[in-house]
């Protein structure tokens, strides 16, 4: 069996959450005998095809970008070529240009779309895109939601509930590097023995401005790992508030990220908008046995972090509640450690890459069988 994944970006060009999911599925499916191609766009002048972890990453040249949507003239032909070889086409939503390519190439192959998020920010453009979006989702064979929470709270998914499956995102801990003693010692000396950790791309919906407000008057060391479009804005806010307990570390190698996940006291994840549909770095916290703090936004964050079981859940955009949650964990170390143990247990029960990949491969096989039956 051969599967083609299609999304606007992928490893190694970018390292975000959707890219991580595609990588985990592709490398895991390869171990089960499923050949995988990934097609994405790249700003490189001369796009190349490279092998990553047993699958092929193909790139078409990015020609234009409008409202976070990349467009590529060469992608039409490249997609058509790769789709002809595929048994299943696996789309990753949202990306409006993908919908256009889907209809323009008229591929009669089994199709599945992983629905990563509703479109939240571009309200005016969404009105123009809505008819195409509905036509696209109606045309695919299966839609996958990444958590039962998101399925229950998405109006769009509710319209297509008869063909929605839930497959939680999973991670393979074996693909993460070991925390090396020298890096552990380095960060322990630099940050001290007890700190909260945030990891992620610094975007508007991550709620970090709320975290900075919550940090006032606490003195708790808070480490922020990642870079992004509002990074400077947040640094200015921290300076304005006179915060000396915030450590902006920027983008770090995986070896350092793992060391910080190993050392941190707890993971704080203040995303306050539904654009945060799941929370890969929150799941990493669970994988590393850490108690978590997140907001209730009706998405997968609360599927990972179960209130009062694996951590604390607070209302979104509420710095006072977030401050109280940090204080509670800080002052109750035994309970915090027990939450971390339950978080790790929940990871092994629900969120391993092995479980996710097997569910997708089973779905691929089901769609291929159905397609063959219809073709007879």
Say yes or no: 99 and 238 in one domain. Answer: no
- Whether 57 and 106 map to the same domain: the answer is yes
Q: How far apart are CA 113 and CA 93, in angstroms?
A: 7
pLDDT along the chain (376 residues), means of 10: 96 87 96 97 90 95 87 96 97 96 94 92 73 96 97 95 97 95 97 96 95 96 95 97 97 96 98 93 97 97 98 98 98 98 98 98 97 82
Looking at residue 48, its pLDDT comes to 87
- Res 123: pLDDT: 62
Q: Which pLDDT belongs to residue 119? A: 82
Whether 120 and 156 share a structural domain: yes
Within this chain, do residues 162 and 258 fall inside the same structural domain, yes or no? no
Domain assignment of residue 161, given as a range: 2-171+353-375
Are residues 151 and 225 located together in one domain of the fold? no
What is the reported pLDDT for 126? 67
Number of structural domains the chain divides into: 2
The answer to whether residues 164 and 245 belong to one domain is no
Q: Quote the pLDDT of residue 339.
A: 98
96 and 85 fall within a common domain: yes
What integer pLDDT is reported at residue 354 of this predicted model? Answer: 97
Are 338 and 226 within one domain?
Answer: yes
Per-residue model confidence (pLDDT) at position 82: 97
Residues 307 and 357 in one domain: no
Whether 185 and 75 share a structural domain: no
Question: Does 291 lie in the same domain as 340?
Answer: yes
Say whether both 187 and 161 belong to one domain. no
**CATH for 365:** 3.40.50.2000
């Amino acid at each position: 069996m051969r599967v083609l994944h299609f999304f606007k970006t992928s490893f190694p060009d970018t390292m975000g959450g959707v890219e991580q999911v595609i990588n985990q599925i592709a490398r895991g499916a390869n171990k089960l005998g499923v050949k995988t191609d990934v097609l994405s766009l790249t700003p490189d002048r001369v796009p190349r095809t490279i092998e990553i972890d047993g699958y092929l990453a193909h790139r078409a040249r990015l020609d234009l970008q409008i409202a976070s949507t990349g467009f590529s003239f060469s992608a039409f032909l490249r997609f058509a070529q790769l789709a002809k070889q595929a048994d299943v086409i696996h789309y990753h939503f949202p990306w409006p240009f993908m919908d256009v390519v889907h209809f323009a190439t008229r591929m009669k192959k089994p199709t599945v779309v992983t629905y990563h998020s509703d479109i939240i920010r571009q309200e005016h453009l969404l009105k123009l895109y809505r008819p195409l979006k509905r036509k696209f989702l109606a045309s695919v064979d299966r839609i996958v939601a990444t958590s039962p929470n998101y399925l229950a709270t998405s109006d769009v998914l509710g319209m297509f509930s008869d063909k929605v499956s839930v497959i939680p995102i999973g991670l393979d801990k074996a693909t993460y590097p070991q925390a090396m003693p020298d890096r552990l010692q380095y960060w322990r000396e630099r940050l001290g023995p007890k700190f909260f950790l945030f990891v992620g791309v610094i975007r508007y919906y991550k709620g970090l401005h709320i975290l900075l407000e919550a940090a006032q008057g606490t003195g708790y060391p808070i480490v922020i790992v990642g870079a992004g479009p509002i990074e400077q804005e947040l640094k200015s806010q921290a300076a304005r508030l006179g915060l000396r307990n915030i450590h902006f570390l920027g983008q770090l190698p995986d070896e350092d990220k793992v060391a910080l996940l190993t050392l941190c006291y707890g993971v704080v994840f203040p995303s306050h908008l539904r654009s945060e549909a799941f929370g890969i770095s929150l799941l990493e916290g669970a994988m590393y046995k850490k108690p978590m703090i997140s907001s209730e936004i009706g998405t997968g964050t609360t599927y990972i972090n179960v209130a009062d079981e694996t951590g604390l859940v607070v209302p979104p955009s509420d710095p006072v509640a977030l401050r109280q949650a940090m204080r509670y964990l800080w002052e109750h170390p035994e309970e915090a450690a027990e939450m971390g143990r339950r978080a790790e247990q929940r990871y092994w029960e629900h969120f391993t890459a092995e479980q996710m990949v097997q569910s997708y491969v089973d779905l691929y096989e089901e769609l291929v069988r159905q397609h063959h039956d219809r073709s007879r």
